């Protein structure tokens, strides 16, 4: 019975805006010293994502249209 359970949640997803063209082009090893600020600036754009999963992993990630309200109608259309 547990293998048939599907659950979901929603979260805000923000777009991270790189501070310079040079930062976007750099690839670094995780242990290499970096001179990057600890806090990156987030853009004003964010979007609501609904994620559904079961015991095997993620089944669906749905990005809601801007201005859409999360309610039973929205979930019904997604499912």
> Is 3 part of any domain?
no
Q: What is the pLDDT of residue 79?
A: 79
- Condensed to tens digits (0 to 9), the pLDDT of residues 56-79 reads 999 999 998 877 788 888 888 887
Confidence of residue 27 (pLDDT cuts 50, 70, 90): low
Residue 17 pLDDT > 70:
no
Give the predicted TM-score (pTM) of the model.
0.57
- Condensed to tens digits (0 to 9), the pLDDT of residues 28-51 reads 666 666 555 555 555 567 888 999
- Domain count within the chain: 1
Burial level of 1, CB count in 10 A (0-12/13-18/19+)?
exposed
> Is 33 part of any domain?
no
- The whole domain housing 71 covers 8-15+43-78
> Is 61 part of any domain?
yes
Q: Give the integer Cα–Cα distance in Å for 1 and 3.
A: 5
> Is 24 part of any domain?
no
């Amino acid at each position: 019975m547990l293998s048939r359970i599907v659950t979901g949640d929603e979260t805000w997803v923000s777009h991270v805006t790189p501070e310079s063209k040079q930062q976007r082009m750099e690839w670094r090893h995780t242990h290499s010293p970096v001179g990057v600020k600890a806090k990156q600036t987030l853009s004003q754009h964010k979007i609501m994502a609904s994620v559904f999963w079961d015991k095997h992993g993620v089944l669906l990630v749905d990005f809601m249209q801007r201005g859409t309200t999360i309610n039973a109608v929205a979930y019904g259309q997604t499912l």
